[in-house]
Amino acid sequence: MLGFALNTLRHRKAGFAGAFLALLFAAALVCACGVLLDTGLRGAVQPERYAGTPLIVAGDQNVHRVEREVDDGEVEVKDKAKPVAGRVWIPASLAARIGTVPGVREVVPEVSFPAHVAGGPSAVGHGWESARLTPFTLRAGRAPTTAGEVVVDASVRGSRITVLTAAGPKAYTVVGVTRETLPNQVSLFFSTAEARRLAGRPGQVTAIGVFPAVDVSAALAGSGALPYTGEDRGKVEFLGAENARIRLISLGGALGGTSLLVAVLVVVGTFALSIQQRQREIAMLRAIAATPRQIRRMIGGEALLISLVAGAAGAGLGLALASLLRSMFVSLGAMPGNLPLVVGPFPPAAAVLAAVAGSFAAARVSARRTSRIRPVEALGDAALPSARLGVARLLAGLAVLAGAVTLTLVLSGLSTEAASSPVVMLTAIVWTIGLTLLAPVVARVMTALLGAPLRLSRAGGYLAAANLRAAIRRTASVIAPLTLMVAMSCTIFFVQDTMGDAVGAESRDGTRAGLVLGPRVSPAAADAVRRVPGVEAVTEVLRTTVRIDLEKYSAQAVTPGGLASTMDLGVVSGSLDRLGESGVAVSEVAAGRLGVKVGSPLTVALADATPVSLTVVAVYSRGLGFGDLTLPHALAAPHADDRLAQTALVSAPGVAASAITAALRAHPGTEVAPAVGGDGGSGGDGGSVNTAVNYVAMGLVIAFTAISVVNTLAMATADRARELTLLRRVGATRRQLLSMLRLETLTAVLVAVILGTAVSLVTLTAFANGMTGVPRPYVSPWTYLGVVAAAAVLALAATGVAGRLALRARA
């Protein structure tokens, strides 16, 4: 039957084009997601600053938990590790110990710290002694020798610059310019003493360069430092590299799983429609004694041939798509530019395998009913297709809907974004799959209700109502991808909107200050504003993340003085007055996860992995708006990488903003704005970046779904050329037939919008209940109307083009 299948494909190219396109884009998505996943698992960031140093000694960037498991009497020790958000510093005295190791010729200590050029780029400051690591050499000028001198790389312009650091702004004279520049960082070099002062870490260094690369493990014993060579040097140079890799693993896995489910659903629908369009042909084969097994083998052979070609082409397209995604993620700041894609054989192979397996399964499932019809009934069934559901499909649909209900209940109890995010999309897809399986029944009921108004209109409406009623299975095939598109689009857009609205509401309700300072606020700038007459309180707010027993929590570090005048966290027990230097306030959700209450001890690993023992002094309700934990600023700020990356809330009733602006004249980079709410407890973890990445990634799924909508509608309309010709011969005009097609399409869109909206609303309500405690999702009316309009425009365009071509072909 394989030869027969090949012959069928040769003579029905147009009929199989829709299935080919569905498989092509499905394979492309799977391949692109696989490349992202593979890059996250095996990718490595190339070192830049440390490229000329064979061995780097730096801190262990992870917190650890040792677990002992007993298996068949044997004790297995597992060391679990998670990366921290900030840089782990090491003792400067370690350099002397390393220098005594046999074979070591040179040891170069290094300090790195954020140094923002006023009116210019953000840079990284170093001591000139560590220029040897890259190495940097002077193109002009000399090395810095005093506290007021600086050497800049060739990307910085000017003979005198103002540099902003946590120690405050200071003007420096440029005494030298380096010959080298680095692609992803701007470098400033100060004298050794000045660099140590600006770094604010007395007795500590960022890293130690060792020449040549020898075994220094004995010298590092007990220090907490680790040796890094080869590509591992990029990890310690670019701290965001590990987070980017973890993001790619999570994104590739989640997007790949979602894409695969959507692809299977689309491909099954496409093949089902393709086989429906061949009912007469298959019926003829059954009538001339073709067995059910032969029919299944023929259809399976067709699917195999199409999927092999589409899978191979889709894999190539997927590689290009992965490259495009990488470029977009780099531009968004979600991954470093020197993290190249890992292109191995497995993602393309997985794409081809997914296309083959998906198409073969889809073809066999779609052909199941047709191949089992008795020969004597085959032609009659093809002439008058039934909309009745088989028992197996009905039971499967009900079972899937039961699974969707279970997922919805589970989702309504998930209170963390990490846990709920993958379940949200899965819930929406499972609801859609259930409705797709029951689509003929749903389509019959909905078209019966909506067909009555159509029959009251002129010829086009009458014909549309009659066609919708007679061709239920075709209508169901069109409704399914439209429902998927609406459901997925609404869910993706409004999940982010629901979270944003909840975060914004808590931030607005909890912000009592009238003004906010930012985006960079040094302690000196905050003190300058405190001295302005009439200012009641200035609360410095530093966003960060911490680890508690390996789990990551968002946190804000605040100055306790006058806190009640600037923010209201919604304290439900305890008091923020006892925050002091060893207290911690915890949100209700975090307290539930940690099992703590007021008075409980809590060990927290700060941004640089420093463990601190704290006492819970308060539990508050506004965790979405202000973070999971609230820490004393004096405790957390010294352990942050960039202590300038903070804001300050100002309570100053009756004080003009101009007076505060005047106090900040000596502090460039700090501006005054009305306080309209906090930043939503982002925890310094790039919440807006993650949101943008999610939109880009899930936008691919929406685009694929939109393509499937156009594909399905074009297939369904193009196959009706014989029907349209017959209607023309019995007196229907071209205008009436196009009107009929438009009304049919609009009816299908309306049904799909109702179903898709219901699916997304149920999913979003469960999500909102779990994440915010209130089962009320936020839906932007303009965004919703945009989704509906996009569905209608795509559907009408696909139907209109295919309909005109069909009419022209039969003219």
Token pair in block for residue 124: 């990284």
Q: Which residue, among 66, 51, 63, 114, has the nearest Cα to 88 in the 3D structure?
A: 63
Query: Which residues neighbour 680 within 8 Å (Cβ) at sequence distance 6 or greater?
Result: 500, 503, 504, 506, 507, 624, 625, 687
Distance from first CA to last CA of the chain, Å, rounded? 36
How far apart are alpha carbons 103 and 101 in whole angstroms? 6
Helices (H), 170-277: 192-199, 217-220, 232-237, 240-276
pLDDT confidence band for 565 (50 / 70 / 90): very high
- Strongest mean pLDDT among 184-188, 477-481, 600-604, 774-778: 600-604
Token pair in block for residue 299: 């259809």
pLDDT confidence band for 795 (50 / 70 / 90): confident
Residue range 617-667, pLDDT digits in tens: 999 999 999 999 999 999 999 999 888 889 999 999 988 888 999 999 888
What pLDDT is recorded for position 143? 94
- Strongest mean pLDDT among 232-241, 404-413, 741-750: 404-413
How far apart are alpha carbons 423 and 411 in whole angstroms? 7
How far apart are alpha carbons 82 and 547 in whole angstroms? 8
What pLDDT is recorded for position 500? 86
Q: Is 391 left (phi over 0), alpha (psi -120 to 50) or beta?
A: alpha
pLDDT confidence band for 10 (50 / 70 / 90): low
Let me know: does 611 contact 605? Beta carbons within 8 Å.
yes
Let me know: does 513 contact 566? Beta carbons within 8 Å.
yes
Beta bridge partners of 70: 75
What pLDDT is recorded for position 738? 77
The answer, yes or no, to whether residue 587 has pLDDT greater than 90, is: yes
Residue type, 356: V
Side-chain-side CA neighbours of 205 within 13 Å: the count stands at 25
Q: Can you tell me whether residue 344 is helix, strand or coil? A: coil
Number of other CB atoms surrounding residue 766 within 10 Å: 24
How far apart are alpha carbons 575 and 617 in whole angstroms? 6
Residue range 243-300, pLDDT digits in tens: 777 778 877 777 777 777 777 777 777 666 666 666 666 666 666 666 767 777 777 7
Q: Which residue, among 129, 237, 174, 114, has the nearest Cα to 520 in the 3D structure?
A: 114
pLDDT confidence band for 682 (50 / 70 / 90): very low
Residue whose entry in the numeric block shows the structure tokens 């209508």: 475
The answer, yes or no, to whether residue 685 has pLDDT greater than 50, is: no
